[in-house]
Structure 1
């Protein structure tokens, strides 16, 4: 009998799904409150005395309360559209919520204007008030970033136009993906798979199955490539025009600001990775030998080494994850057990779901929901642990002011990758045979290659795409060329085949909320290595230190966060090299074991 349900519970958030009357009321009240708040801000005069600063405090408190509700509504519609890509009501709700988000952004722009208008003396006094002292970093950040943008009325116009312009192209992408199916023949019967189900087939134990699916996969995305080229070109064009209006020449300025990091940190990280790629090409070459091929194909990179790999049931995966978390953090283990028991996870393999996985948080309910399609593979177990790491990160921040909870993607990926690493490392150590150990090491190294090579190819592609997009629209043919060039460079031309339509099949290129949705994964992976090394030394004694680090992720630059909690300098290669050295040990072990 199945212990844990693989279907999440959204009824405790808003009963009735996309037909929920309670959610309609929630949205109606939120729309009215946002309109009222914007009206009050429009009528508000710029504070000139200390006594008038208390009005600013009230505005900031009110903004945080509304922020919670905006996030709640966004999380709910993202769950609805993910669980059923054909839910038309959910799509309509998504449009309404995006309009709400735009209205909220306009409110925050008005608040930014209010903060910018304060004299230096009043600004200093404002930050000294007890009510706002926990938000010093966040308020200073808002004021600094607002100073880099256009005037408030122009920023509000951009936000308004983005709903039916910029973000609409992301919606078009999701609509196309939602209707796509890939046909396969199983047991003499033709079945239509969603792209999420089809993606899992490319991790098949059987190479012929993988290769057949890889061919169907490329064709499916190629058939829709003209439409995907439109979505990518137009959302990219909107973004570039916005940057141009603000006077931003560097397309990485916004990603750096969003991730609260210095570009020197990013450059040093990639340079250190590039210097160490020969270690990981050795692994790719050895894996090719073990699979009996001259070079790995794109679909072989994450493939299992043997057809004898056992599938892990969902219940067993959940139990194992909780047990492994317990060895490091009893609090994280208890939290994860609660998530499974209270049905916070949507893992069922069925048609109609969107591909990929995510974790989203409901700040009003102080709960999270995890989405994925589970098929029993080792990579699925890793994904489950990964998303639970995200959920735990939010959990330990729930009592902080809303503005201090908004951590960047790079440190978000730190918590998730750390959780994934705990499970992966433990399973390797507990392997009952060398054959099992080799397979588990291969799973670990697959992820390292993904972060060092696959993610690097995405970063290279996106950087070059934006440079070409500045000159005009980029054709399907050229997008394929750019993708292949980036993949060959990132993988040191070590593969026998690549995925030219990866720019179309990878959702992250078409997400409008976060530009350059790639390098933060690699940052998080290596940063979590540093944390893991410290945790391995201290055991459960590190639990409280880890929680303290997570709680600071929404109120510090990453360089300061690393210095405070790990005493390392992220702008120097030493930290990154030490983290990569930990992974390199796995390569050596893998090669030693497979050569016996």
Structure 2
């Protein structure tokens, strides 16, 4: 049954009145006062079990408060990037976050100075039992913490460039078929059924990127340069050290996964070649990649999409089903297709009220359904963490992308099970394989590009023309030469290159994709009841390393290539079946 849901979200239930909200103003003042009070207190604290437990509780309260305000400002800017009040509050929350991180940094240094015997005794105390993991992590990180001076500079330097990128991108307009579109709307046309629309949108964006590449080159150079200088001040040489630490991954785990990605290019290159031939081309043109296999499966209204998601989530488990119903009924989703919105789909968590908000521009396609589901997967992760102590809620991006990809699989696999014709199966296999290609080829290219940019930036400024060359080379390698008309400007419109909170936000997607495959395979084996096991894993995601988490809940060693090959083999089977159904084998 198709339900009618409003495609415009409700933010007033969090702070009424948007950026002019008196409640928001009071919240910001309370947060600022408590940060100042804690900053003074922490300067006097000599960590003992009781004092440390009290400090952690205060930090938890402030962390949740900052996150609530930060998410609200991000949501306001997503729907209206020119909202000056929201821009002000976004800047204020960045300042709060910087001060909060400087307090944490000082605490880490104090923890590092505690003797080993005293440290073990402290961790064994009942006051600190639930904080054990995060305290051990902080003590280890103390030696490479940025200085107070660097943290202060980050607000108006490093993070400011990232925010400027978002604002700049949101202001750009292109004309397609006589209509003025935002970047997000134009990018959505990649999956349009009409080839001429896809091509015109692609060419309009290329023209715009060519016009603006110099400005974007400055942004990327300044971001990367700041990051390298910051790492240098911390004694960090390897640019992957911080991203690996943030994702709680061992280098051995990343290397095992990358090795498997490099081994399995051929089946996905074959899929691309076959799909290109089906389109009448010899090689896959980049603007045809998201083209639909069958136009009959394309059209879908927002209410139909929401009802489908709710139905499939409920079939997986009652908790997930109830969550979806609440999210749509209570106005947690902003999906209306209108100009002026940000180009980037997001999920924002509101830990103070135990809610999330999901933002996108819904294009009325199955691809749009999967984008919506992806963000709802993040929101369900937040939902699962509601009962977890605030200091243990900071899960890494690799686990965030596991939850979002798992949600996609709930929809895709259910659709595959219901498919009755080869045409339907081909359509759904194509949707699955697009995601495999993105995770194994596109994200490998992004990883290569980002690594090479950091290496070249050490030597000096990288002009836009050179960034285009680096992007072209990385895409050729990532796609094993299977792409025609390589999109050399994708370094501009890929927002992950400009994230200041998560450098190298590429390999976490592949990690999450392959881990989600394992989880879904277990779900199919287990049947009813797996939902609670899945939620247990999500709840642990903020208080364990990735290796320990997967060993505890799946009994698998992710430092071993064999683990990653199991997931990869499932995707290879999809490619082989696609080629067979397409009539090329």
Which TM-score bucket, shorter chain as reference?
over 0.9
Query: Are 2:481 and 1:527 aligned?
Result: no
CA distance in 2, matches of 1:535, 1:171: 39
2: CA distance, partners of 1:102 / 1:148: 16
Q: Does 1:229 align with 2:230?
A: no
Q: Structure 1 residue aligned with 2:89, among 83, 86, 93?
A: 93
Deviations 1:493-523 (A, max 9, x none): 1111111111111111111111011110011
Correspondence 1:49-448 to 2 at 5 A: 52-149=48-145, 155-185=147-177, 190-448=178-436
Q: 1:510 aligns with which of 498, 501, 510?
A: 498
- 1:541 equivalent in alignment to 2:542: no
TM superposition shift of 1:485: 0.3
Cα distance, 1:429 vs structure 2: 2.0
The whole-number CA distance in structure 2 between the counterparts of 1:209 and 1:344 is 31
Q: Secondary structure at the match of 2:496?
A: helix
Q: Deviations over 1:288-326 (max 9, x none)?
A: 111111111111112112444431111111111122122
- Partner residue, 2:477: 489
**Contact 2:56–2:391 (CA under 8 A) maintained in structure 1:** no
SS of residue matched to 1:202: helix
Q: CA deviation at 1:395?
A: 0.9
Output the CA distance in 1 between the equivalents of 2:160 and 2:169: 14
Deviation at 1:370, TM superposition (A): 0.4
Which piece of structure 1 moves more, 537-546 or 358-367?
A: 537-546
- Measure the CA separation in 1 of the matches of 2:234 and 2:98: 19
Residue of structure 2 in register with 1:6 after alignment = 7
Deviations 1:335-370 (A, max 9, x none): 111111101001011111101211111010010000
Q: In structure 2, how many angstroms separate the alpha carbons of the residues matched to 1:382 and 1:106?
A: 39
CA distance, structure 2, for counterparts of residue 408 and residue 473 of structure 1: 31
Matched residue, 1:43: 44
Partner-residue secondary structure (3-state), 2:348: strand
TM-score normalised to the size of structure 1? 0.96
Give a deviation string over 1:111-169, Cα, whole Å, max 9, x none: 2123223222222122112222112111100110112335xxxx221111011111111
Return the alpha-carbon distance in structure 1 between the equivalents of residues 3 and 567 of structure 2: 39
Q: Conserved in 1, the CA contact under 8 Å of 2:49 and 2:125?
A: no
Q: Deviations over 1:444-492 (max 9, x none)?
A: 1111111111111111100000000011111101000000000011001
Partners of 2:324 and 2:128 in 1: CA distance = 33
| Displacement after TM superposition at 1:7 (Å) | 0.6
Separation in 2, partners of 1:33, 1:133 = 25
CA-atom RMSD in angstroms: 1.3
Q: In 2, distance between residues paired with 1:540 and 1:360?
A: 30
Q: 1:432 deviation in Å?
A: 3.6
Which residue pairs with 2:33 in the alignment?
A: 32
CA contact (8 A) 1:80 1:87 kept: yes
Cα distance in 1, alignment partners of residues 533 and 44 from structure 2: 46
The number of equivalent residue pairs is 583
- Offset at residue 2 of structure 1 (A): 6.5
* C-alpha distance after superposition, 1:407-457 (max 9, x if no partner): 000011001100101101111221243212211211111111111111111
Does structure 2 retain, via aligned residues, the 8 Å contact 1:86–1:352?
A: no
CA contact 1:291–1:305 (8 Å) conserved in 2: no
Conserved? CA contact 2:64–2:352, under 8 Å: yes
Aligned partners of 2:176 and 2:200 also within 8 Å: no
Cα pair 1:509 1:516 within 8 Å, conserved: yes
| Deviation of the 1:538 alpha carbon | 0.4
Q: Which position in structure 2 is the counterpart of 1:558?
A: 546
Determine the C-alpha separation between the residues in 1 that align with 2:560 and 2:81: 45
What is the match of residue 18 of structure 1? Answer: 19
Is the CA contact (8 Å cut-off) linking 2:70 and 2:89 kept in structure 1? no
Which sits farther off after the overlay, 129-138 or 476-485?
129-138
Deviates more, 1:244-253 or 1:316-325: 316-325
- Unpaired stretches in structure 1, ≥5 consecutive residues: none
Give me the TM-score of the superposition, normalised by structure 2.
0.98
Distance 2:445 2:526 in 1: 36
**Stretches of structure 2 lacking an aligned partner (at least 5 in a row):** none
**Maintained 8 Å contact 1:290/1:305:** no
Give the whole-Å Cα distance in 1 for the aligned partners of 2:239 and 2:175. 39
Question: What is the CA–CA distance in structure 2 between the aligned matches of 1:359 and 1:529, rounded to whole Å?
Answer: 22
Quote the Cα distance in structure 1 between the aligned partners of 2:174 and 2:348. Answer: 28
